[in-house]
């Protein structure tokens, strides 16, 4: 049974070419609808580039993390208390990273949708497609070819992430794959595949906005064993952590760097906890 929370310590100089700071990321993998077979592979790929520590998703514990990463989550994976804690975390400068079906998560939670950028609508069958780089200067795209052949699900979205201030860094050549579905929403043009927000739109008025990054790629196990894809994901994580809104890079920040409430030192151990039922479900026509 896989834990639904996988906390990671990412040491910049060893893993992400960051400054000599210690950044902590909570990787959340709970699903209440479709559960991707690639989640364990994705977790191992991320853990191979990090060290793992304690877990739990609650108000006090979130304060210790420099970023929260929703990894292929689906459904309403947080109760009201969890949503309140997550909103507070974002208001205090916490950063957010979302991968693949994280866009099919908390679909009626307004602040989450804004922090994410856009919700998943549908995808055609898994197939080969050509991803196009729109901004080669972003850390998530710097190592990518201008035209990147992938096998993945080409997500369509219920809105244009640019409407909340997101900058789209990857699109797809729509002539390179077949989409027989019916698009009922305006997701903007060019077709958004991955994007970032310099200031996450899920923060309430008066809050301190951290950064947000989302990529819709990452369906297959093989994808998480591909160095090019991992460069894309790790580049997005690196960029997100450099928001300067958490303790990893800002001593005056109030969240992150392993310091939870009432604790004045970072923890650096190697353990994970079973967060209970990972939310396994039978396959359906969702993300």
Residue 206, burial from CB neighbour count under 10 angstroms (0-12, 13-18, 19+): exposed
pLDDT higher than 50, residue 95: yes
**How big, in percent rounded to 5, are the helix, strand and coil portions of the chain?**
25, 20, 55
pLDDT higher than 50, residue 286: no
CA–CA distance, 234 with 158 (Å, rounded to integer) = 26
CA–CA distance, 18 with 23 (Å, rounded to integer) = 9
What stretch of H or E contains 86?
Answer: helix 80-91
Split at pLDDT 50, 70, 90, the class of 280 is: very low
Report which DSSP code applies to 204. P
pLDDT in tens, 235-274: 999 999 999 999 988 999 999 987 654 443 333 222 222 2
154: β partners: none
Split at pLDDT 50, 70, 90, the class of 219 is: very high
Q: Which residue has the higher pLDDT, 104 or 60?
A: 104
pLDDT in tens, 155-190: 999 999 999 999 999 999 999 999 999 999 999 999
The region of weakest confidence among 21-25, 120-124, 160-164, 265-269 is 265-269
Split at pLDDT 50, 70, 90, the class of 54 is: very low
Residue 240, burial from CB neighbour count under 10 angstroms (0-12, 13-18, 19+): buried
pLDDT in tens, 39-51: 777 767 666 655 4
Split at pLDDT 50, 70, 90, the class of 15 is: very low
Split at pLDDT 50, 70, 90, the class of 279 is: very low
pLDDT higher than 90, residue 7: no
Please tell me the number of Cα atoms within 13 Å of 33 on its side-chain side: 17
Which pLDDT does position 26 carry in this prediction? 77
The region of weakest confidence among 89-98, 200-209, 278-287 is 278-287
E-strand ranges in the chain read: 5-11, 22-28, 51-52, 67-71, 95-99, 120-122, 127-133, 147-152, 156-157, 167-172, 194-197, 212-215
Q: In Å, what is the CA distance from 236 to each residue of 34, 136, 198, 232, 241? A: 25, 12, 12, 6, 9
**Sign, Cα dihedral of 115, 121, 126, 132:** negative
pLDDT in tens, 181-210: 999 999 999 999 999 999 999 999 999 999
Say how many Å lie between the first and final Cα of the chain, rounded: 21
Q: Which residues contact 79 (CB under 8 A, 6 or more apart)?
A: none
Which pLDDT does position 59 carry in this prediction? 76
| pTM to 2 decimal places | 0.81
Phi, psi (degrees; rounded to nearest 5) at 129: -155, 165
């Amino acid at each position: 049974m896989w834990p639904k929370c996988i906390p990671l310590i990412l040491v910049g100089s060893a893993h992400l070419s960051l400054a000599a700071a210690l950044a902590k990321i909570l990787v959340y993998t709970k699903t209440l609808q479709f559960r991707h077979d690639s989640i364990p592979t994705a977790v191992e790929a991320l853990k191979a580039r990090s060290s793992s520590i304690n877990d739990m998703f609650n108000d006090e514990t979130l304060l210790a993390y420099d970023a929260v990463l929703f990894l292929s989550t689906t459904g309403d994976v947080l109760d009201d208390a969890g949503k309140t804690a997550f909103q507070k975390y974002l208001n205090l400068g916490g950063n957010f990273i979302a991968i693949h079906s994280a866009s099919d998560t908390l679909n009626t939670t307004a602040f989450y949708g804004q922090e994410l950028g856009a919700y998943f609508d549908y995808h055609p069958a898994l197939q080969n497609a050509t991803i196009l780089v729109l901004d080669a200067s972003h850390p998530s795209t710097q190592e990518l070819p201008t035209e990147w052949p992938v096998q993945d699900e080409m997500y369509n979205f219920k809105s244009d992430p640019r409407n909340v201030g997101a900058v789209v860094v990857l699109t797809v050549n729509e002539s390179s794959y077949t989409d027989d579905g019916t698009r009922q929403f305006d997701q903007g043009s060019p077709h958004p595949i991955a994007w970032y927000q310099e200031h996450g739109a899920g923060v309430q008025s008066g809050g301190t906005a951290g950064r947000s990054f989302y990529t819709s790629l990452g369906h297959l196990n093989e994808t998480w064993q591909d160095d090019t894809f991992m460069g894309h994901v790790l580049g997005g994580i690196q960029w997100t952590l450099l928001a300067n809104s958490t303790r990893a890079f800002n001593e005056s920040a109030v969240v992150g760097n392993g310091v939870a409430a009432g604790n004045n030192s970072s923890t650096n151990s190697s353990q994970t906890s079973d967060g209970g039922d990972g939310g396994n479900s039978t396959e359906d026509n969702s993300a």
